[in-house]
Structure 1
Amino acid sequence: MAPLGSAYGERAGNVVVGVSDSLAGLAALRRGVREARATGRTLVAVRAWEPPEGEALYARRPETSWARLWADEARRCLERAFDLALGGPPADLRIVRRVIRGRAGPVLCSVAASADDLLVIGMARRRGPLARLRPRPVHRFVPARAACEVLIVAGPRLLPQEARMLRRGAGAAVPARTGSGRSR
């Protein structure tokens, strides 16, 4: 447990959230906001990014204009996540936004370096017959190496046709569910 930071029951430390615009990342952001409100902590929203081809290949032919472009896209993704998850940044919280170049696991662990922090990450539900073969490096790395409490938030359960529609961008056309769990 984290020590109390004031007479009003506020806790010391921050609520650090790994932000992405995936459904699991948006669920983590909503939960992080809820935890920050409940404890009076500062919400630190972190978006880690790397060059698409990886740092090793980027180091061979560095191009600063491309790096600025990717960093700007990471900033837009961070703002878009607040819009998608909450309709915009909450006005009642202290929010620090950080866009950091690096792998997500080490970046999140370095930002949430105090034992008083709470680190919130989202975890998408695995689907399909080969789901176990796909790596989940952030979800293995963070709980094993974090210096603070880690809260892993599962993404929402979707019917297969709902997931397909969301991937295609037709989220408004999701069929209604009946009592039996089947779509009409």
Structure 2
Amino acid sequence: MRERDIGRVVVGVDDSLAGLRALREAVEMARLRGMEVRAVRTYRPPPEPGGGGWNTGMDPQSFAAEDPRSALRRNALVAARHAFEQAMGGVPRDVVVSIETESIPLHQALAAVACRDRDVLVVAAAQRRHAWWPPRRSVARRCTTRAVCPVLIVPAPRGARELGSHWHPWHRRQRRRELDALLDKLTA
């Protein structure tokens, strides 16, 4: 079979629980079908000179020491490798994996990379939104309307879904108790 006849598994790299699960599913699918994994991580482009700054999450000295775009690209690569570490202990060696970074929104980057009919696009399902948050279309929904290939939407693990709307970042003690109770229930 020629290389162009073989599809690829394209996955968006995200550090959420659903994103890590999607990464594992993509690698497993690639193993079973002998396909290549194309992992895509996006970053916000640097601000234009004189256009006001924004918080990049980077160390200011490292940001000033090199070109902002290459620093953001490097940090996106580090974040993608870290996601592989969290999901499966590192980038797998038995599957061909290529990590790509883009400075466009994730749904556009995924649709651009998964451009063949034989590709498979794997995305994480959107987390629940609160009623007071403005409604947005999820990356998964946007990918299903833009992709030319099959799209596999991977839900968050059951434990994360069970926490659902009870998971508030401003209630740290309550969050810790809920997580401990859930882990106790799962290990019992």
TM-score (norm 2): 0.73
* Kept in 1: contact 2:130–2:165 (CA 8 A): no
Question: Which residue of the partner structure matches residue 107 of structure 1?
Answer: 109
Q: Which residue among 159, 163, 174 is the counterpart of 1:159?
A: 163
Relative distance call for 1:81 and 1:58 in structure 2 (3 A) is same
Unaligned runs of 5+ in 1: none
Which segment is superposed worse, 155-164 or 107-116?
155-164
Question: What secondary structure does 1:37 align onto?
Answer: helix
Question: What secondary structure does 1:176 align onto?
Answer: helix
Relative distance call for 1:174 and 1:119 in structure 2 (3 A) is same
Asked if residue 148 in structure 1 is aligned to residue 149 in structure 2, the reply is: yes
Question: What secondary structure does 2:181 align onto?
Answer: coil
Task: Output the CA distance in 2 between the equivalents of 1:141 and 1:44.
Answer: 19
Task: Output the CA distance in 2 between the equivalents of 1:60 and 1:143.
Answer: 37
Paired positions, count? 165
Post-superposition CA distance 1:29-61 (Å, at most 9, x none): 011011111111011111122237xxxx53765
* Kept in 1: contact 2:128–2:164 (CA 8 A): no
Question: Which residue of the partner structure matches residue 12 of structure 2?
Answer: 18
Task: Output the CA distance in 2 between the equivalents of 1:137 and 1:160.
Answer: 17
Relative distance call for 1:24 and 1:69 in structure 2 (3 A) is same
Question: What secondary structure does 1:46 align onto?
Answer: strand
| RMSD, matched Cα | 3.3
Asked if residue 129 in structure 1 is aligned to residue 106 in structure 2, the reply is: no
Task: Output the CA distance in 2 between the equivalents of 1:178 and 1:84.
Answer: 18
Matched letter for residue 124 of structure 1: A
Identity of aligned residues (%): 34
Q: What displacement does 1:90 show?
A: 1.2
Question: Which residue of the partner structure matches residue 38 of structure 1?
Answer: 32
Matched letter for residue 65 of structure 1: D
Relative distance call for 1:130 and 1:112 in structure 2 (3 A) is same
Post-superposition CA distance 1:82-134 (Å, at most 9, x none): 00101111111111111122111111111110000000011232043335x33
Structure holding more helix per residue: 2
TM-score (norm 1): 0.74
Question: What secondary structure does 2:48 align onto?
Answer: helix
* Kept in 2: contact 1:162–1:174 (CA 8 A): no
Task: Output the CA distance in 1 between the equivalents of 2:76 and 2:17.
Answer: 17
